[in-house]
Structure 1
Amino acid sequence: MAHGKRTKKWFWRWRNNPLRRRDDIAEAWIMLALCALVAVGGTAVGLVTAHATDETLARLRSDRRSTHAVLLTDASKHVSAVRSSGDKVSASVRWTTPDGSARTGRTLVDTGLNAGARVVVWQDSHGKLTTAPPSAGEAAVEAGVLGTAAGLALTGAVLGVGAVVRWRLDRQRIDSWGREWDLAGPQWGHRTG
């Protein structure tokens, strides 16, 4: 029985009721449309974003290659506190690009290595040094997080629009009640106690 009462409360705007106004019906349909947009649109936006992110990160994995480089300078912790990151420090290295040419540049390497040591560096298809691409597992997590964030962003925007619409409809109802009271109030007279 309690479930039936809750259902009646939920759908009261669609029931025939002499107190129901056009604004009530408009609000009911708008809120239903916004709920559908959240359910369908939020899911679609989340899935599309996750898929696009996964494809982008897969392209990064296929574009970037690891190669061995020779350390040209010692990598001590005292080299540059500004350019260090945790247990890594910026150092000069020499590597061979995919087209066979030799290049030099700076990248982060483990501290404590001496000049001449071999280190693994990552390069793009043009032979420029870059960071390691995310693994397939890291890419899946990042795609999931970004997809969820995109779905939630759409949901937040839709809920914001819904709140503005409801506020506007409430203002219209209050103004309408005020106009009707201005007409009906004087007819009641000044009765006291």
Structure 2
Amino acid sequence: MRAAIGLWRWRRNPLRRTTDVIEAWVALTAAVLLCLAVPAAGVVAGLSADASLQRSVRSQYEERVPTVARVVRIAAEDTGERTAEAAGEQRLRPAVVADWTAPDGSARTGTVNTTLKHARPGDSFPLWTDRSGRAVPPPMHAETARAHALIAGLTLALLAGLVVETARRLVVHRLVRRRYARLDRAWAQAGPDWGRTGTGS
């Protein structure tokens, strides 16, 4: 990590400038933030996202009911224009007309997608419905929610690390510009007499 390179500037020597000390403190602060604060922020964000997603998973399992549907017939092909994603979904989850039993015991029939690769009339497949008996997507798995939370935590940690490193680079850039400005002023004062014998006498 380049931020640690500036730590040598704390050493006492006659050429050390105030900007060197500032740069060293900036490097140390960035190192502490990158090693401690950034991972902590990622963990907190991941845990918070996981808790929220797990509540959503429990809510979905409470609101949705598993049942078994029976294929009546293959649904008619949609002749309208479809996106590539929709066409891929149709191949992976073919649409069928099926019947199932609602939570209240009533019989329902409708067009739904099935995970069966080769659906034939009479085949059974699992289906999720809401409390009123309408077909709904299956609830999210707890492992899937945990994976999403992990990705959220890692993403926030990476963004926080990028912000810290960007801020460090901006501060160092301003310090370097200040050094060059001081050097230009010093050269402007000494430049006209440079190399002349007896300068300053």
TM-score bin (small chain) = 0.7 to 0.9
Report the counterpart of residue 77 of structure 2 in structure 1. 79
Report the counterpart of residue 24 of structure 2 in structure 1. 28
In terms of mean alpha carbon deviation, does 92-101 or 22-31 score higher?
92-101
Gaps of 5+ in 1: 1-8
SS where residue 13 of structure 1 aligns? helix
CA drift of 1:182 comes to 0.9
**Partners of 2:7 and 2:27 within 8 A in 1:** no
Aligned CA distance change for structure 1 residues 80 and 25 (closer, same or farther; 3 Å): same
Question: Residue deviations 1:79-126, cap 9 Å, x none?
Answer: 248445133123455656667777766542135435665432334678
Question: Residue deviations 1:132-164, cap 9 Å, x none?
Answer: 334333333332232122111110111111111
**Partners of 1:42 and 1:155 within 8 A in 2:** yes
SS where residue 121 of structure 1 aligns? strand
- Percent of matched pairs sharing the same residue: 30
Aligned CA distance change for structure 1 residues 153 and 115 (closer, same or farther; 3 Å): same
**Partners of 1:74 and 1:112 within 8 A in 2:** no
Q: TM-score scaled to structure 2, two decimals? A: 0.70
CA drift of 1:41 comes to 2.1
CA drift of 1:31 comes to 2.0
Match for 1:147 among 144, 149, 153? 153
SS where residue 174 of structure 1 aligns? helix
Match for 2:33 among 15, 32, 37? 37
Question: Residue deviations 1:5-44, cap 9 Å, x none?
Answer: xxxx764322222212221111111221122222222112
* Equivalent-residue separation in structure 1 for 2:160 and 2:31 (angstroms): 12
SS where residue 157 of structure 2 aligns? helix
SS where residue 119 of structure 2 aligns? coil
Q: Does 1:164 align with 2:170?
A: yes
Aligned CA distance change for structure 1 residues 137 and 183 (closer, same or farther; 3 Å): same
In terms of mean alpha carbon deviation, does 21-30 or 54-63 score higher?
54-63
Gaps of 5+ in 2: none
* Equivalent-residue separation in structure 2 for 1:157 and 1:143 (angstroms): 21
In terms of mean alpha carbon deviation, does 93-102 or 127-136 score higher?
93-102
Give the alignment of 1:6-17 within 5 angstroms: 11-17=7-13
Amino acid at match of 1:26: I
Amino acid at match of 1:88: R
CA drift of 1:59 comes to 1.9
Give the alignment of 1:174-185 within 5 angstroms: 174-185=180-191
Report the counterpart of residue 18 of structure 1 in structure 2. 14
Report the counterpart of residue 60 of structure 1 in structure 2. 56
**Partners of 2:9 and 2:20 within 8 A in 1:** yes
SS where residue 137 of structure 1 aligns? helix
